[in-house]
Amino acid sequence: MQDTDHVVLDIQNLVIAFEQLSGDVTALRGVNFQLKQGEILGLVGESGCGKSLTALSSMKLLPKNAKIVEGDIRVNGRSLKGLSESKMREIRGKEVSMIFQEPMTALNPLIPIGRQIEETLLIHMDLSRKERYNRVIELLNAVGIPEPQARFHQFPYELSGGMRQRVMIATALACGPKVIIADEPTTALDVTIQAQMLKLLRNIRDSFQTSILLITHDMGVIADLADRVAVMYAGKIVEIAPVEELFDHPTHPYTVGLLNSIPSMIGDEDGELQSIPGSVPDLKSLPIGCSFQARCLYATDACIHEDPALKLIGPDHSVACWNPLQKGEG
């Protein structure tokens, strides 16, 4: 659970657009949320809703054709907006780290894993060679890699997928960042390894009070790990609430649809996965009004004419919907 209300990552009304030949396309449309110290905040939504873009903005690692149109990103109170690339290199790894979905693409295949973790320490910390070695061994131990002295010299291909993911987590942890962004950290792993990885992330939060922004399309992973959940749709947060509240009383029809797509939550006898009818709208031609209107069973006139803003509807629970479901509905 979160320890304090200290905000470590503050995303303020973030609008991001892609420059394209046919004109700018707005992919994030005013995203707002705060990640508190020691908190695990899940960011969920279907493919293309802007989860990765939100994650990448938190490290100012945007694609070349993307620009921040409005808003700000603050890490420990410091705005990233005006910072140069060299300043950002000081912040990445030290204050905010990222764990990617596929460790094989993030790790250098030609360098022993111990040296790769050491590299991060070299950039950010003033340690002797011996101190760096000891720190790497300590990190390998902390992420549950057996025989760390022997593993130090191994290359990524000599490790299993789960072990490689642990190496990535050790690298992310190396300099004691306040925030870890985990983008689909378990998607590429098989089910038993996934469970171990979720346990490891929970232990890291508990041991170091690290805050984790957990990006996933998997509501099961959210149920397991997150304290709070933000649901994204077409570049906006449409609902945000503590995890139990969101699972017990979802109010946005889209959130209800996502929850219904978890097999174990379906009451029907076949246990069939219900997918949400329709598809995510094209960002180039979003309707006026609510972007979920075409897929929504509850859409009314208001939904067609005006896009609802995110509004507080209970303690720590906000929704952007003209007709939010009441308790027991849906």
Ligand X SMILES: Nc1ncnc2c1ncn2[C@@H]1O[C@H](COP(=O)(O)OP(=O)(O)OP(=O)(O)O)[C@@H](O)[C@H]1O
User: Which residue has tokens 């002295």?
Assistant: 149
Element (H, E) at 33: strand 25-36
Structure-token pair, residue 79: 């705005």
d(CA 184, CA 8): 21
User: Given the complex with ligand X, which of 66 and 96 has the nearer CB atom?
Assistant: 66
Q: Which residues bind ligand X (CB under 6 A)?
A: 18, 27, 45, 47-53, 63, 65, 217, 283
Residue 174 CA, chain-centre distance (Å), reads: 20
Tokens of 278: 């329709």
* Least spacing, CB of residue 31 vs ligand X, in Å: 11
**Smallest distance from the beta carbon of 221 to ligand X, in angstroms?**
13
Pairing of strands 311-314, 228-233: unpaired
C-alpha 37, offset from chain centre: 15
14 sits in which H/E element: strand 7-18
Pick the closer one to ligand X by CB: 48 or 242. Answer: 48
Helix (H), strand (E) at residue 18:
strand 7-18
Judged by beta carbon, residue 47 or residue 326, the one nearer ligand X is 47
Q: How far is the CB of 318 from ligand X (least distance, A)?
A: 20
Q: Which residues pair with 96 in a beta bridge?
A: 92, 179
Nearer to ligand X, 118 or 307 (CB): 307
The Cβ-side half-sphere exposure at 13, using a 13 Å CA radius, reads 4
Whole-angstrom CA distances from 129 to 9, 37, 119, 309 are 32, 31, 11, 53
Q: What is the DSSP string of 95-149?
A: TEEEE-S-HHHHS-TTS-HHHHHHHHHHHH----HHHHHHHHHHHHHHTT-SSHH
In terms of CB distance, is 104 or 286 closer to ligand X? 286
For the bound state, the minimum distance from the C-beta of residue 289 to ligand X, rounded and expressed in Å, comes to: 19
Q: For residue 295, give both structure tokens.
A: 């897929």
Residues 15 and 11: their CA atoms lie apart, in Å, by 10
Min dist CB 56 to ligand X, Å, is: 8
276/302 with CB nearer ligand X: 276
Nearer to ligand X among residue 105 and residue 128 (C-beta): 105
Classified as helix, coil or strand, 4 is coil
Instruction: Provide the minimum distance between the beta carbon of 254 and ligand X in the complex, in angstroms, as a whole number.
Output: 13
Query: Is the Cβ of residue 9 or residue 145 nearer to ligand X in the bound state?
Result: 9
